Structures are given as structure tokens and as C-alpha cells.
Chains A and B, each alone.
Chain A
Amino acid sequence: MHASIAGIEYVLPEQALTTASLAAEFPDWDVEKIDSKTGIHTRPVAAPDQCASDLAELAARKLFERGLVKPEEVDFVLFCTQTPDHFLPPSACLLQHRLGIPVTAGAFDFNLGSSGYVYGLGLAEGLIATGQATTILLLTGDTYSKFIHPKDKSVRTIFGDSGTATLVRAVEQPALGPFLYGTDGRGGPNLTVPAGAMRQPHSPETAREYGDDSGNVRSLDNLYMNGAEIFTFTLQAVPASVNGLLAKAGLTADEIDLFVFHQPNRYMLEHLRKKMKLPAEKVPVTIEHCANTVSGSVPIVLKHAGLDGKLQPGSRILLAGFGVGYSWGATLLRWNQLATV
């Protein structure tokens, strides 16, 4: 048996940071320029008491409410998050209980960012192909906003919080693959929250604020991103992984109906699209109202592509995620009769 997507739902927090409110906070800053370059107008921000697992739970409940699956059918929960409820226990275990999923189900968290959804699909394919599971809830959830210093414009303008839930079911015909993965830990320091875990526990020293050359303020307890380094990595890794995957599958770019990329910001996506000579209509951008949702971005784009009628039985879709780690992954998705968003 093989894994196939059988439904996708997502949830954004009610509260949002708009470009207008950023402009009011930073009157000396050309916010409109940033808005036009990033393509992001609204950044969803989780409430103070709202965790990533809460958003993923709401997304999963939407799948249940649609009648696509019952909690008692689920035999595995995969939760991709970098903002868990606790160091331990795993949030996936708490979600199993909260969602009423049988105690016979497997569940674990995995810590990845923008590449996480592709890795999750790879894990789901492995679990189903080896007979370890048949009905998987692949959840993503992150609340980067809780890591972001309010005076750090460099990341506050980019990231949004979200939760997604994808139902993955066993089917006879392969619907996913091949998979291509990549990792380069040298890039770890370029997108990081340096302190707060075991390597550098939270302390008064890690909480000390410092400013950078662009006037941003943060501490070692906050999210830091070196945007230029991330972009340089992306320029190398994304075309290479797309071309590598196509070669592995024996296909050309013309034979792909849709390229669903992680959504870092519109400027980077546009440059990558032009660099790879892909037509705009084949590279959807869904970033305006949800911002860069890290592991949530690929399923959110996929959901909207389905709602827009861009996914038809037989469609070949290339999924690619890339970012924190550095970590990247790509796969091909063959839309089938059972598949739905």
C-alpha cells in the first residue's frame, strides 16, 4: 500500500499583525516597500495562551467535522513543530488524547521548519508502505511569533503562525514520490533561537537585549534570521533539488502541472521562479494573508490550489520545502480520484 493525501485543513489565529499597524509602530521605516517586496499584508499571531498544538488541533477537528475521517480511525499522529507545548512530553501525545484518537495509535513530534511537510509525507509513505499504519494525521503547527522580539522588524514582517492537518490514507497505487532530501547544518546559526534549550539555557544573560546595524533589537532568547545568508542558500538548494527530483523521476519541468514551494516571501519566490524559468501560473503564491508559516506553507498552498480547481485527477504536483537547518526536501504528488483538499 501507499500513502495518499485525503484532505487538508488549516487554521490561522484570529489576531493578526497588519502592515498598517507595523507602519504605525515604525513611522520612520519604509513599511510599504517591505510590504510590496515580501507580498505579505497580514501576519497571523497566536494569542498569548494559544500554542502551536492548539492550532493543529483545531485544523484536525475541521477534518473530523467534514466527515473525512473519524478520530477512532486514526492509527498514527505525526506532528511537525518547533514550538511544542513542553520540552516533554511530546505534543503529539497530548494531541492524541485531546483529539480522542485511540491509545493504540503511534504518535511523535518531529522538529523541522519549512522542509517539514515534505518530510512528514515521506514518513507517512514509509509507515504505510511497511504496513505500520493506514490512516495518518500529519499535523504541522508553529508559533514563531512567541520567539520574535517586538522591535525586530527583520523577522516580525515575515513570519505568521498557523496549524495544519492533512489526512493521509493508504491507497493501492503510489501517489507520492520519489523523495529527495538534503541537509547542511553549517547553516544552523543563520535561522535560530540560540538560547532557551540545553546548549544555552535561558538566563538573565541570554535575555539581555542587543541592537543590530539595521536598528533591530533582540536577545539570544529570540528568533534570529540572517536573511541574506538564507537567500543565498535558497538560490543554490531549491533549483538543485527541483532538478534533482525531476531527474530522479525521469520527468521534465514541462510535465509538472504545479510547483508548490514553501513561501518565504514573494520576492524570493519570484526570483526562484524566474531563475528556474517556470511560468507564473504554475507557481502559486499564497502569502498575502498568512505570511511565512514555516512548515504550514506547503499544505496551505496545496489547499488553496485545490479550492481554485488546480488539482485534478492525474495532476503532477512538485512539492518543495527549504529553510531552517538548513534542511530541504522535495517530492512529487500524483493527484488521484481519492485525493481531496
Chain B
Amino acid sequence: MTRQEFLAGLDDAVSLPVGTLQGSEQLEDLENWDSMAMVSFIALADSHNGKQLSVKQIGQCKTVAELLQLAQVEE
């Protein structure tokens, strides 16, 4: 999965039009970054490389870029 595809998946997870998220966004500013979106992110990361993330690690992320880093999505 490319970075663009991963971001498109995250757009969908937080109910934004595809192409909205770029990486620098603060998670606390995303209205729909909730438990359902977190589940979608876990699924995206699993589909990307089979990496299973800990919920604690996800909770420590402050930005979209940190989520991408955690999921090991290449720049």
C-alpha cells in the first residue's frame, strides 16, 4: 500500500473526502478520530504489512504522520 493509498484509507476512516489528509494534521483536530476510526486504522496497518499495533502505541500518536510512522508506511 502506498502512502497515498494509506492516507485515502484514513480519510475514509474519519469520514473526510479522499485526498484531504496530508500527514501534518493533529489527531485531536479530527472530529471523527474515535474508537471506530482507530479500528479502521488498525485494519489498514494490518492490510498494509500484517503489522499488529498495540492500542497503547496508537494512543500515544498526536498526528497523522505519527500514525503513518507507526504503521511503517514509507514516505
- Using a CB–CB cutoff of 8 Å, the interface residues on chain A facing chain B are 30, 33-34, 37, 154, 213-214, 226-229, 231-232, 235-236, 267-268, 271, 274-275
> Which one of B18-26, B39-47, B62-70 is at the interface?
B39-47
Q: List 28 A-B contacts (CB under 8 A).
A: A33-B15, A33-B32, A33-B36, A34-B36, A37-B36, A37-B40, A154-B35, A227-B39, A228-B35, A228-B39, A228-B42, A228-B55, A228-B58, A229-B55, A231-B42, A231-B43, A232-B52, A232-B53, A232-B55, A235-B42, A235-B52, A236-B52, A267-B39, A267-B40, A268-B39, A271-B43, A271-B47, A274-B47
Question: Whole-angstrom distance from the CB of A166 to the nearest CB of chain B?
Answer: 31
Give Cα A267 to B37, complex, Å. 12
Q: A30-B15, A33-B15, A226-B55 are in contact. Are A232 and B34 (CB under 8 A)?
A: no
Provide the residues of chain B in CB contact with A232, threshold 8 Å.
42, 52-55
Q: What secondary structure prevails in chain A residues at the interface with B?
A: helix
Provide the residues of chain B in CB contact with A214, threshold 8 Å.
34-35
Q: Are B35 and A235 in contact (CB under 8 A)?
A: no
Work out how many contacts link A and B, with CB atoms closer than 8 A: 47
Question: Whole-angstrom distance from the CB of A323 to the nearest CB of chain B?
Answer: 15
Determine whether B38 belongs to the interface, using a CB cutoff of 8 Å to chain A.
Answer: yes
Give Cα A265 to B60, complex, Å. 26
Q: Are B55 and A235 in contact (CB under 8 A)?
A: no
Provide the residues of chain A in CB contact with B40, threshold 8 Å.
37, 267
Give Cα A275 to B52, complex, Å. 12
Top 9 nearest A-B pairs (CB, nearest first) are A228-B38, A228-B55, A271-B43, A214-B34, A227-B35, A231-B39, A229-B55, A228-B39, A231-B42
Provide the residues of chain A in CB contact with B42, threshold 8 Å.
228, 231-232, 235
Question: Whole-angstrom distance from the CB of B5 to the nearest CB of chain A?
Answer: 15
Provide the residues of chain B in CB contact with A274, threshold 8 Å.
47
Question: Whole-angstrom distance from the CB of B57 to the nearest CB of chain A?
Answer: 11
Provide the residues of chain A in CB contact with B52, threshold 8 Å.
232, 235-236
Provide the residues of chain A in CB contact with B32, threshold 8 Å.
30, 33
Provide the residues of chain A in CB contact with B15, threshold 8 Å.
30, 33
Q: Which residue of B lies closest to A226 (CB)?
A: B55
Q: A33-B15, A232-B53, A232-B55 are in contact. Are A227 and B36 (CB under 8 A)?
A: yes
Provide the residues of chain B in CB contact with A267, threshold 8 Å.
39-40, 43
Give Cα A220 to B55, complex, Å. 22
A275's partner among B35, B38, B46, B58 (CB-CB below 8 A) is B46
Give Cα A126 to B40, complex, Å. 40
Provide the residues of chain B in CB contact with A268, threshold 8 Å.
39
Provide the residues of chain A in CB contact with B55, threshold 8 Å.
226, 228-229, 232
Of A37, A213, A227, A228, most buried by chain B (CB within 10 Å of CB) is: A228
Give Cα A271 to B32, complex, Å. 21
Q: Which residue of B lies closest to A265 (CB)?
A: B39
Provide the residues of chain A in CB contact with B47, threshold 8 Å.
271, 274-275
Provide the residues of chain A in CB contact with B53, threshold 8 Å.
232
Q: Which residue of B lies closest to A33 (CB)?
A: B15
Question: Whole-angstrom distance from the CB of B39 to the nearest CB of chain A?
Answer: 5
Question: Whole-angstrom distance from the CB of B38 to the nearest CB of chain A?
Answer: 5
